[in-house]
Amino acid sequence: MRKSLEALLAMVPVVAALVVAPNAAATAQAAASTPASTTAATLKDAASISGRLFGAAAAANLLRDAEYVATLNREFNQLTPENEMKWDFIEPNRGLFNYAAADRLVSHAESQGMTVRGHALVWHSQLPAWVQNMNSPGQLLTAVHNHISNVASHFSGRVAYWNVANEAFDDTSRAARRNSVFQRLLGDAWIEEAFRATRAADPTAKLCYSDYFIEGQNPKSDAVYALVKDFKSRGVPIDCVGFQAHLTSGAVPADMRANLQRFADLGVDVHLTELDIAGSGTAQADSYAQVVRSCLAVSRCTVITLSGVTDKFSWRVSQTPLLFDRYYTKKPAYDSVLSVLIGG
């Protein structure tokens, strides 16, 4: 059995071309009796078996770090610039665009055959003061249109998915819109404006709404669900929902699969866009397995992306939430993810 699994993994590009996500269960079943940790698979190869991508957020300044790059290149086939496409990075001063760091990441991804996710066009955080301090709706709308048309056109054809609007819902009531400059000056319509502007600037990229604390069914995910349903019913262009999935061991929502499925049933793809799970050891491994199983059970859950490559550079560094430790050693959670992807 092991031999046939290894043969299957060696054929991954062929298998990925032939096997689509809905057939994952059959493929997984065929591989089920082989312990995944004994194979030579990588995360991206294992995810390819069911036609999925396995990605990571990456930082341009770390492309000089040989150990970091070796792990990124070996394990991942989708890259999300961690900060370099955010508004304060890319347009720190009005009308002056700084693409150097983002271009480096996109070129690196292309050189490795990785798919790129753009992150993020309109977000209340990492927003330059010149935008935050605006008080004219007309000027803000012009600034949003100008930002999106410049950035999305610049990367047109090179970015497969855009997180168009990020974290638009509140942290307290969670079902209400967040009090951002966009919401205050433009009202509810700002998200729709952003999606239409992105589609106009790059007709081929898939357009996603992305948020955290929406992995299970709750008032916040209900609010995002209503937004997506409304967009689909009115023909506002939206292709995918990004579930950031910043989670904690032992606290993965039990209804995650059902929640992903209800979004998929609206006619959008669902992506795990910044997956990380605080914790360590078996508890962390079990929680990662639960999340990956939830995705594999939903045919439209087509991309799993981690918030980083290694705990060493994680934005939640003290919570050791990733699959490689600070020495780039594979953690128990790595083995459990690989095993679930392969079907163990």
Other beta carbons less than 10 A from residue 237's beta carbon: 16
For ligand G3I, the closer CB: 33 or 126 = 126
Rounded distance, CA 52 to CA 20, Å?
A: 8
Q: What's 324's DSSP letter?
A: B
Residue 328 burial (10 A CB sphere; 0-12, 13-18, 19+): middle
The binder of ligand G3I chosen from 244, 259, 294, 319 (CB under 6 A)? 244
End-to-end CA distance of the chain: 13
225 binds ligand G3I (CB under 6 A): no
Q: Check: CB of residue 174 under 8 Å from CB of residue 223.
A: yes
The binder of ligand G3I chosen from 274, 276, 286, 311 (CB under 6 A)? 274
299 binds ligand G3I (CB under 6 A): no
211 binds ligand G3I (CB under 6 A): no
Per DSSP, what are the bridge partners of residue 116?
A: 79
In the complex, the smallest distance separating the C-beta of residue 95 from ligand G3I, rounded to whole angstroms, is 20
- Report the residue number whose CB is nearest to ligand G3I: 315
For ligand G3I, the closer CB: 31 or 57 = 57
Give 158-177 as a DSSP string.
Answer: T-SEEEEEE--B-SSSSSSB
Which stretch of DSSP H or E encloses residue 78? strand 78-81
In the complex, the smallest distance separating the C-beta of residue 159 from ligand G3I, rounded to whole angstroms, is 16
Q: Check: CB of residue 201 under 8 Å from CB of residue 148.
A: yes
**What number of chain residues touch ligand G3I (CB under 6 A)?**
7
Query: Hey, which residues are catalytic here?
Result: 167, 274
In the complex, the smallest distance separating the C-beta of residue 88 from ligand G3I, rounded to whole angstroms, is 8
Residues 115-144 that bind ligand G3I (CB under 6 A): 125-126
215 binds ligand G3I (CB under 6 A): no
Angle at 221 between CA 308 and CA 307, to 5 degrees: 0
Binding mask 74-93 for ligand G3I (x = CB under 6 A): --------xx----------
In the complex, the smallest distance separating the C-beta of residue 20 from ligand G3I, rounded to whole angstroms, is 30
Instruction: Kindly list the residues in this chain that would bind ligand G3I in the complex (CB under 6 A).
Output: 82-83, 125-126, 244, 274, 315
